[in-house]
Structure 1
Amino acid sequence: MTEIRRPPAPHPAERARTIATRGGRAALLPPDGAEDRVVPELHHVHACGEATLLLPDEHPLVARAALGEVTSMLEIADHAAVPLREPVRGLLWITGWLRALDGPDAREACVEVAEERPDPRLLDVGHGLTALRLVPASLVVADAETTTSLRPEVFAQAEPDPFCAHEDHWLRHLELSHRDVVGLLVQHLPEGLRGGHVRPLGLDRFGLRLRVELEDTDHDVRIAFSRPVATPSELSSELRRLMGCPFLAQRR
């Protein structure tokens, strides 16, 4: 049996760190079903995997977490930069113990978040909002590459993709202003996918991802760079190369 060669892709821990750093839409899922999904006023995942969240003082979960640790799951969705009929391209779940912070602990947590992500809502802690800390027991990342469970220490050792802060802007620019580039890439797709609507889905140091929307299903395709890249100049060179002879693999 011939083994299907897969293009290189980021390690699951790197993908998890990237989703956390991008800070997409989040929801807190109490495990006992006592409350519905809770959308925090603000959430921030630290490099160690712990998350700081802000909830209104009067929320029932705040009262429970003030009495003692509550097991909870934080779900973070990684949304595509361009409009897609299936816009979520990845999910990160952090399961652990949630507790409410007060006094010096709350102030310290807000300062820690503000150093990485300044936000005026942090000033409302103690004035209508409560800070909570989720300490992870495990993490799971799921996307078109794979679904993988991670230990917190593995997550903490990884780094986010070097292009994650600029990825959305670049992909929207590719979608709106360089459909000719997308067209050149289409000719290298498997024959059965060339009639679909091809959209830029993702970009990382290992390659470019495309979403092919067919009438009744979607396919994600990774086109690998010849080597991992770390700078915009290296990225530009690899994109030019891909317009000539890409190495690709299909994922359903």
Structure 2
Amino acid sequence: MTASTPRPPAPSPAERARTIAALGGRATLAPSAADERVTPVLHHVHADGGVSVLLPAAHPVVATAWQSPRGELATMVELADAAPVPLREPVRGLLWISGWLRALTDEQARALAVEVAEHRPDPRLLDVGHTAALLHLTPAALVLADAEGTHPVRIGDFSAATPDPFAASEAGWLRHLELSHTDVVGALSRHLPDELRGGHVRPLGLDRFGIRLRVESVDTDHDVRLAFTRPVRTNEELGLELRKLLGCPFLAAQT
């Protein structure tokens, strides 16, 4: 894709950030007072950009947060969006949420655990106040980095956005293409620029604006977005747009 070629339509940075948050992929904490990154037992990103993290009650970060001024610890949470199919470079995007990680009283933590459980039921939340501690990060800044670019995301925009309608079903669609319809992926390859032909083409992502392919060459990877003719919301619309990309003239003429 040359610099003069218009970029295909894509979800806004705020929508892509909300989608990564909703997928609940791998999270790591980078507290300012710690030398190493920390992997929480569980995490949940709230609609306002705040992050609840579950840690063992005896974890040093818990003690450090309590001992910090105002019980808050400057921390960055990194969320990794991994592809649902095995790729040599599996991370599709990163969302960084920086802010203040706050220690909570048992009463506050249990109330927050109930709120988290409404969105992400997990039996480990029952350990809050016993062998686990629930802390909450109040966001100050969000930054998204993916194949579309690196963008700061305003907290208000993040809160106003909604995850992509196919976020929950995307993994199933892509795995189905990878395992059962390599012919479809091969047919989609006809849309690739000439310089990318010949690489190993893999299904990478799916959203309401289009499908993304990963082209694995000998020494590098390239991500390519194939745009639908219009944004879609339902599985029926999605199937129709995929058939259009495959060049089915009968279905294309029906719209």
- For Structure 1 versus Structure 2, the TM-score category normalised by the shorter chain is over 0.9
Measure, in 1, the Cα distance between the counterparts of 2:224 and 2:74.
37
- Equivalent positions of 1:143-222 (< 5 A) are 143-222=146-225
Q: Name the structure 1 match of 2:63.
A: 63
Q: Contact between 1:52 and 1:132, CA under 8 Å: does it hold in 2?
A: yes
Shift in Å at residue 104 of structure 1? 1.8
Counterpart residue type for residue 12 of structure 1? P
Greater CA deviation, 34-43 or 13-22? Answer: 34-43
Q: Is 1:242 aligned with 2:245?
A: yes
Deviation of the 1:3 alpha carbon:
3.5
Distance 2:16 2:237 in 1: 20
TM-score by length of 1: 0.94
1:30 maps to which residue? 31
**Which segments of 5 or more consecutive residues in structure 1 lack a partner in the other structure?**
246-252
Contact 1:102 1:131 in 2 (8 A): no
Task: Say which SS state the counterpart of residue 32 (structure 2) adopts.
Answer: coil
Distance (whole Å) between structure 1 residues aligned to residue 245 and residue 131 of structure 2: 52
Percent of pairs with identical residues: 66
Q: Which amino acid aligns with 1:99?
A: R
The residue correspondences of 1:114-129 to structure 2 (distance < 5 A) are: 114-129=117-132
**1:13-43: CA deviations, max 9, x gaps?**
00000000000001000124x3310000000
Q: 1:87 aligns with which of 83, 90, 93?
A: 90
- Indicate the larger mover: 54-63 or 209-218: 54-63
Q: Distance in 2 between matches of 1:5 and 1:54?
A: 43
Question: Counterpart in 1 of 2:13?
Answer: 12
3-state SS, counterpart of residue 140 of structure 1: strand
Aligned to 1:248: none
Q: 1:159 & 1:79 partners in 2: Cα distance?
A: 19
- TM-score, with structure 2 as normaliser: 0.93
Report the secondary structure of 2:138's partner residue. strand
Corresponding residue for residue 46 of structure 1: 46
Once the two structures are TM-superposed, the CA of residue 103 in structure 1 deviates from its matched residue by: 2.2
